[in-house]
A and B are shown apart, each in its own frame.
Chain A
Amino acid sequence: MANADSNHASIGAVVAGFGLSLVLTALSFGAVMSGLVPRDQQLATIVVLAVLQLLAQLVFFLHLGTAPEQRNTTVIFILTTLLIATVVSGSLWVMHNANANMTPMQMSVEMAKSRE
């Protein structure tokens, strides 16, 4: 019975998820708006905070976990995450290379050739 109920929400989980999300959101906006975090570290900071908040909501709101009842959804989610990582990082990588290797508009063919 305890196992069957592990999928069920409790007030504590909802309050914990909400509280954590509020704090992490405030930290994200604070990191960019307050200027307390050096500019070159802001992106890394908000990415880490976003990942933490995604994990908090997945566990407390969407009830992902390793209990037998939750395993199916968790495995499907992890595989989807892999697909998303491939699509997003692949697109950025390919488009970055396409941009970097494009002949500049202002450059003539001869100039581009002489660069090689």
Chain B
Amino acid sequence: MNMSIQMQDLGGDHLPPVDHAEQHEHDAGKRTVLGFWIYLMSDCLIFASLFATFAVLAGNTAGGRTGKELFDLPYVAGETLLLLLSSFTFGIAHIAMQRQQRGSTVGWLMATFVIGLGFIAMEVHEFAGLIAEGAGPSRSAFLSAYFTLVGTHGLHVTAGLIWLAVMIHQTLRFGLDGMVLRRLACLSLFWHFLDLVWICVFTFVYLREAI
């Protein structure tokens, strides 16, 4: 009798209290995602101070060209479209991952990666063009603030791309288990969050300068 109970306890990791274990893992997952959300909110504060800096310095062009003369709105609309499209493909990947469809998840994550890479390529091209025209970050306080703000967003997207590549590999290697799902849930929040920041960038940097 005693023996059989012990045996059950030993096997407990896999069999009888499976509900308990799953519940525990579920709670841990929720805590991780909540913790990640708190990190995102602190990231929000970094962007808030960069936006405030830009707003204060936007008029200080040091006799150089203003945003209205420098920025190419149709080009920015293209960048916006790419980032929005990548948010959409990540949303679809998120659904596929909840349905445990591994192949479809990897496919949509790859689509997100390619579109995100396109966004970064456009941004690097835009920055290179500005610098070549003599409107680099050292030209005026306005341009310093602009490159810092938009560059910080670009660096975040780049970090997101690296994380995406890692998660594509992990999904292929480990499948959609609890750990991979939890990490993908955090990455999903991160990616959508960057889209939110970009809404503020195109509104308060590009469009406001063009008015």
Contacts and interface: CB of A to CB of B under 8 A. Distances in A.
B192 A50 contact: no
A46 B199 CA distance: 10
Given A87-B45, A91-B52, A73 B203 contact: no
B179 interface: no
A91 B189 contact: no
Contact of A73 (B34, B77, B92, B199): B34
B202 interface: yes
Interface residues on B, range: 35 or more
B84 A25 contact: yes
A25 B56 contact: no
Given A88-B52, A95-B56, A53 B45 contact: no
B207 interface: yes
Interface residues on A, range: 35 or more
Nearest to A77: B41
Interface in B35-51: 37-38, 41, 44-45, 48-49, 51
B91 A14 contact: yes
Contact of B38 (A18, A21, A76): A76
B207 A29 contact: yes
B148 interface: no
Contact of A18 (B88, B208, B210): B88
A66 interface: no
A75 to B, nearest CB: 11
Interface in A17-65: 17-18, 21-22, 25, 28-29, 32-33, 39, 42-43, 46-47, 49-50, 53-54, 57-58, 61-62
Q: Is the interface of B mostly helix, strand, loop or mixed?
A: helix
A32 B94 CA distance: 34
B203 A9 contact: no
A80 B44 CA distance: 8
A109 interface: no
B108 to A, nearest CB: 11
B203 A50 contact: yes
A87 to B, nearest CB: 5
Interface in B164-211: 189, 192-193, 195-196, 199-200, 202-204, 207-208, 210-211
B87 A76 contact: no
A14 B92 contact: yes
B110 to A, nearest CB: 17
B91 A17 contact: yes
Given A18-B84, A32-B211, A88 B51 contact: yes
Nearest to A64: B37
Contact of B208 (A13, A14, A33, A46): A46
Interface string B78-119: 001100100110011011001000000000000000000000
B27 to A, nearest CB: 12
Contacts of B200: 50, 54
9 contacts: A29-B80, A54-B196, A61-B91, A61-B195, A76-B37, A76-B41, A87-B45, A87-B52, A88-B52
